[in-house]
Amino acid sequence: MASVTQRLGYLFYAVNPKSTLFKHPEEVPRYENETLFVILALVVIELAYRVCTGRQLRANEIITSLAIGLLHETTVFISEGAILLGYEWLYQYRVLDFQWDSLYTWWAAFFFVDFCYYWVHRANHEVNLLWAVHQVHHSSEDYTLPTAVRVSVFQRMTYFGFYHPLALLGIPISSVMVHLGLNFLFQFWVHNEDIGKLGPLEWVFNTPSHHRVHHGSNKWCLDKNYGSVFILWDRLFGTYQEEKEGEEIVYGLVDQPQSMNGVWHEVFYFEKIYEKARGMSSWSDSLRAVFYGPGWVPGAPRLGDPDAFPDVKAPRAKYDPQMPAWFLWYTLVHLTIGIFFQQIMLIHLQANSWLTVSLFIAFNFLTVGVLGSMFDGWRWAPLLEAARCSAFLLYARATPISGAPMVDAALFLCFAMSAVFWTSQSLLVIGSPAKAVKFE
């Protein structure tokens, strides 16, 4: 079991290479899951710092990022298998033979996994179908640590094929898995506005300054700074852009969606691609609408004409639905319960049936979708929330959730009170002539 210090080190790639050498893939720790509570603690520290220093703090945006992160963590055990599907079969045809317990192998995997990440990240911006997945991560209009966990449930599926050349190179799958985990975690700390430029480190490594540019929707920020650990790849392949002094970065998407519903964020862009492809005059252009860049239009280059892109400048109004404090706390409580359910599901993953696992996943999706819909003022959201809480009560009556009677009793009481409250609220909303729900 890793200590708190070790888990904190995972976030900065500060590990002893000898302690992260594994012969078999099943021995590789779930670094992401091991650091979950360290990440949440750092989020709380950052938010407290912003409050103390008078910085802007939008609870609705933070909650939406955490909710999308919950969906990712709930499904990651499924999607992570897609990254290296077929890797071991391809490994049979390797041209070199790196040994799993060699430090040379560790360092080779360190550099080559980061190199492959640059290209998969770049592809996620340059292929419209992949952008439909990756845009979820860029949809936050604020730039704080919670932005880092705003990752689509489909994100890891887009990585398939990009790391497979390492099998032919001869790097064992266990080494690749270690560095996939640590490389992903390294990206967490660069999502903040409070750390300025870091001097000579800016030449070699990805930093908060570099990544702030990457998340900007200003024209000069688009499609820049793809690196994870190293910014060298961007400097080599012409995608580097330094942060400009005195020019405010506008975070979010160029065409920013007006919603706090995490489930809707996961799927809405696929409809946009469908509509774009359907509106083309030929099959070839329909295919280009799917596989060329998001900014492509007929007659333009593959990635679109930069001169035709909107020039987003600060200040830009943010989508900012206001909710009472009691609802914000209610949402945080139920998202925390969702994290608890996700941990229970992973602990008992091998013992549970696929039906049970599917119910856990569906329940967390319903939690995020319904609570997000209430931020957006959807009329029927209170009724659906009452149904969600009632569904839990029906399930929990016959099936222990945690195995700890006191915990299960507390959960039952929480959901019972929630079901009663939202049933009464839904009756008020249904009887109201207003088309959108608004809480006081």
pLDDT tens profile 67-106: 999 999 999 888 888 899 999 999 999 999 999 999 999 9
Q: How many other CB atoms are found less than 10 A from the CB of residue 182?
A: 26
Average pLDDT of 140-167?
A: 96
What mean pLDDT do residues 427-437 have? 65
In total, the chain counts a number of residues equal to: 440
User: Does residue 310 have a cis peptide bond before it, meaning omega lies within 30 degrees of 0?
Assistant: no
Q: Cα 370 from chain centroid?
A: 19
What average pLDDT does this structure show over 263-279? 96
CA distances from 124 to 158, 230, 242, 288 (A): 8, 18, 21, 15
**Residue 308: its pLDDT value, please?**
87
CA–CA distances in Å: residue 204 to residues 231, 234, 239? 6, 10, 14
Please determine, for residue 164, whether its predicted confidence score (pLDDT) is greater than 70: yes
Q: Has residue 408 got a pLDDT over 60?
A: yes
pLDDT value of residue 57: 86
Q: Classify 230 as helix, strand or coil.
A: strand
pLDDT of residue 54: 85
The per-residue pLDDT for 350 is 78
> How high is the pLDDT of residue 348?
83
Confidence band (pLDDT; 50, 70, 90) for 157? Answer: very high
Q: What is the full DSSP assignment across 336-398?
A: HHHHHHHHHHHHTTTTS-HHHHHHHHHHHHHHHHHHHHHHTTBTTHHHHHHHHHHHHHHHHHH
Return the pLDDT at 435: 58
Query: What pLDDT sits at residue 437?
Result: 62
Q: In this prediction, what percent of the chain has a pLDDT beyond 90?
A: 82
Mean of pLDDT values over 213-242? 97
Looking at every residue in the chain, the average pLDDT score rounds to 93
pLDDT score for 436: 63
Domain chopping of the chain, boundaries? 4-237, 325-430
Phi, psi of 38 (to 5 degrees): -65, -40
**pTM, entire model:** 0.93
Q: How confident is the model at residue 428 (pLDDT cuts 50, 70, 90)?
A: confident
C-beta separation of 197 from 243 below 8 A:
yes
pLDDT class of 438 with cuts at 50, 70, 90: low
| CA distance linking residue 68 with residue 153, whole number of Å | 8
Task: Determine the 3-state secondary structure of 96 from DSSP.
Answer: coil
Residue 434 has pLDDT above 70, yes or no: no
User: What is the percentage of the chain residues whose pLDDT exceeds 70?
Assistant: 97
